Amino acid sequence: MNETLLYPKNTNTRGLIDLSGMWKFKFDFESKGESLNYKLGLTDTIEMPVPASYNDLFTEKKYKEYTGDVWYEKRFYACSSWKDKKVNIRFYGAIHKATIYINGIEIGTHIGGFTPIMINISEYIEYNKENIIICKLNNELGLDTLPVGETKKIKSGLKMSKPYFDFFNYGGLIRPVKLVILPKESIKDITLVHKVEKDTCITSYYVDAPENLNIRVDVYDENGVYVTEGHGYKNQIIFNNPTLWEPLKPYLYKFVFKLIKNAEIIDEYPLEVGLREVKIDGTEILINNKSIYLKGFGKHEDSIINGRGENLAVIKRDFELMKWIGANSFRTSHYPYSEEIYNLADKEGFLIIDEVAAVGMMKSLMNALDAASTNKKEDPYFDEKIVFEKTVKNHLNAIEELIRRDKNHPSVIAWSLLNEPDTVSSEKAVEYFEKLFNFAHEQDLQNRPCSFAHLMNSLPDKCKCTHLTDFVMLNRYYGWYLKGGYEIDEAIDMLDAELKGWERFNKPVIFSEYGADTLLELSKLPSSMWSVQYQVEYLEKNHKIFDKYSFVKGEQVWNFADFETSEGIIRAGGNKKGIFTRDRQPKMAAYYLKKRWEELPLNYKATN
């Protein structure tokens, strides 16, 4: 379906029309939309903002918790000047399954709510007339969906999401929808690979475009000054004494790719490029052959009212807070984020561990507790027949789309292929993981390191899949879910003992999650769990253990900000592990982390 996942841009040859705004919207409680031909147009609708999650916009719980089909409608006018163009519609994010209709004709179905849908609609639209877009979305969860969970019916007859993950299952058109107008012959894809050695960077480029035409690449520096050029569908550009893209010191060259036919430029695509190389060497994470220590967060796309909907103001605020606190990285837990976040990370010099929406591959409706247990009762997810019949296909497709979308971002330094899967209960996990890791390395010509976030029972002597990783990501809650409060010192001793077991792998270890819930209004002396003081003490004690081990090369606190979850007895208005509140104000722990991170050098614990 997706001929191209290049980020859409306005150029001399390309056009964009933003369809964001208010759309007609309809809940389909009785799943009658198909039989009633909603695809031809909606009646009895309400207005719905796009982009946004619909859940938090209402005052009735049946809408907040809605599970099932919803329908969106938008009309647009097609200009006759588009007849000689390729007219595409692009949904930047549609949760979780989308079926698209143009003028009553089904034109495509897409599974996966966090990567774009791009469909050529040229043959379906009527020119000089109004056209109708209908989008049917479904947010139901199953063992084959990403993310993973269950869908059940409650006594009222309504469907209910039962996620195997600890964040709210928001729905809707969470990112913009745009018409992308391209030339009939256009550039489909661009792939860059950088090799940095001493004072030189060799950048190889590969262009996917119609054959038997000419390609020229003009390169400019940040001031718009011409640097060099390249020719051909694939070639190398050699930079002598370049300004490299470095963590927190970004520098972006501008590559302008031009498709030429009969001496005429028929398509043009500009790409901001950071020259940098990522490698793993023993226990070192190297950016441009220099050791890096990751300081930062697990995050969520989550904000008040908008839910998971793209919110540019929140994106900007988050980056300002991360700069203020001294962070240099984050993980896109637990799904690919809005492309605007990656674009800004490129410009700000932040490092991203980019994660597929493969969360919940451990059967548990009490995920937060079971994931933190070192003795979870076995109920193997990977033994389910559907996992190898359907889930793996969806998973591989999600990896392909993620890498194709994000491969040229200098900020993306690694891929996380799963979060907290069950790697202990079944040998079949190994077969499943091998497919993922082999495929990811084949897809990424930059060969960025790949990993997955280990849950608590994925210990060094129990996890069956660690050997497939390039570095180790640990989600650990010693002192919170395990032996919290007065027993925290015993918990920290257990963390210390576990880390000794990871040393034999000779790989970098990153703490991809660790944290403690905190209520901003609760202050206690002596501290107690949920108090602002306890959150600081928890972090201090964990960091003392991190600092002991040279192979620990990163700490990403869970979580950047408080976020919404399903309701339950261990959640009071969501997950409160944020270092910032949900409205982006600092807790006491933020000032502690700011002091620590500002004092830690970028190459902390470097051995090279």
420 is catalytic: yes
Instruction: State the helix-helix crossing angle for 339-348 and 312-325, rounded to 10 degrees.
Output: 30
* Catalytic pick among 277, 284, 355, 420: 420
Instruction: State the helix-helix crossing angle for 532-546 and 588-599, rounded to 10 degrees.
Output: 20
**291 - beta bridge partners?**
286
Cα three-residue angle 276-299-393, rounded to 5 degrees: 75
The whole-angstrom separation of Cα 529 and Cα 158 is 37
Residue tagged 């369809």 (tokens):
19
Close Cβ partners of 84 (under 8 Å, ≥ 6 residues apart): 184
Torsion of CA 582, 584, 585, 589, to 10 degrees: 80
Using H for helix, E for strand and C for coil, what is the string for 308-342? CCCCHHHHHHHHHHHHHHCCCEEECCCCCCCHHHH
* Catalytic pick among 339, 513, 555, 564: 513
344 burial (CB, 10 Å; 0-12 / 13-18 / 19+) is middle
106 is catalytic: no
The whole-angstrom separation of Cα 336 and Cα 331 is 10
| Maximum CA extent, the chain | 78
- Strands (DSSP E) contained in 54-125 are 69-78, 85-91, 94-95, 97-102, 105-111, 117-120
Long-range contacts, 334-338 (Cβ 8 Å, 24+): 334/147, 334/165, 334/167, 334/358, 334/359, 334/419, 335/113, 335/114, 335/147, 335/301, 335/359, 336/114, 336/115, 336/402, 336/405, 336/406, 337/114, 337/299, 337/301, 338/92, 338/93, 338/175, 338/301, 338/310
The whole-angstrom separation of Cα 513 and Cα 164 is 17
The whole-angstrom separation of Cα 223 and Cα 14 is 23
Question: Which residues belong to the active site?
Answer: 420, 513
